[in-house]
Copies of this chain bind each other. A is one copy, B any other.
């Protein structure tokens, strides 16, 4: 368990440890003969650079902190995966933290990452209060919010265009002939969801349709709460809606489950449209039509932004709102083919 250090190598090679360091770093001020000799010894003795010590003097850890609400959530794990790949490609490691949807814990891990001297932090915030709670620490380290609600705030930011996505989805449903559409899982207090709800409302009104909503009282969105909400909904008699636009894919999955149990056939009797395009949605028998977030592009942008800041340029904030697209699978049908 003993670590070989530069000094150990230096002793064997009979040079100063500065020379060893230079041999390793590819410095010009060392003869090729010495370099080869030193490198050989390093290899033989199994030397590995101590990045902790290097970080001390270089004042950089080559590490990016990633805070997600919960890796065990398809959207998050996909984002984590993309972030990891892009960061590694640029020579950065990822330190992963869960906030568990808890603002307190989020703050705690943020401070922790600052203390660990990560070079930057990418965060998928736990709530819309995240920015205010975190901002006292944000001047310590380049930070970017993904998919949060921080637009119009002085902070690096990347997100899908939630409003445009909702318009896209609603237009699609209306194009299919639906007029009785329920926006499922509207949430107060989340800008993301406000944008989505507004896109729906505006599009309905544009087509002379009265928008209808089912509110989600929970602060987070999950299959579970989608299921509960939908079960209540389906227990009512004379349900006259022909399509559901769920505010998230997880909610949509909950709706599918409840519909299944209530004997409502999807999509024959009820069309369901989701938002996010999580990997679950592509599963057989699920085949959820949904509005997609460009996850990889968002991850790439986030990493890129952090790297730019580290390089020292980039004084202002980078804010980017990305275009969504709709991915059509099998959970929505034209109204004519519905049978009630």
Interface size on A, residues (CB 8 A): 53
Tell me the bound Cα distance from A157 to B82 in angstroms.
29
* Residue from B53, B80, B111, B136 within 8 A of A56 (CB atoms): B53
Instruction: Bits for A35-52, please: 1 = Cβ < 8 Å to B, else 0.
Output: 000000000001011111
Tell me the bound Cα distance from A81 to B223 in angstroms.
18
Q: Pick from A71-79, A176-184, A185-193 the stretch touching chain B.
A: A71-79
Asked if A173 lies at the interface with its beta carbon under 8 angstroms from chain B, I say no
Q: Pick from A8-16, A91-99, A321-329 the stretch touching chain B.
A: A91-99
Tell me the smallest distance from the CB of A27 to a CB of chain B, in Å. Answer: 19
CB-CB under 8 A from A78, the residues of chain B are: 72
Asked if A285 lies at the interface with its beta carbon under 8 angstroms from chain B, I say yes
Q: A77-B71, A96-B94, A116-B52 are in contact. Are A136 and B46 (CB under 8 A)?
A: yes
Q: A46-B136, A72-B77, A260-B284 are in contact. Are A98 and B85 (CB under 8 A)?
A: yes
Tell me the smallest distance from the CB of A260 to a CB of chain B, in Å. Answer: 5
CB-CB under 8 A from A141, the residues of chain B are: 1
Which residues in window 289-321 of A have CB below 8 A to B?
none
Q: Give 20 A-B contacts (CB < 8 Å), ordered by A residue.
A: A1-B139, A46-B136, A48-B111, A48-B114, A50-B115, A51-B117, A52-B116, A56-B56, A71-B77, A72-B81, A84-B97, A88-B97, A93-B97, A94-B95, A94-B97, A95-B96, A256-B284, A257-B285, A260-B284, A285-B286
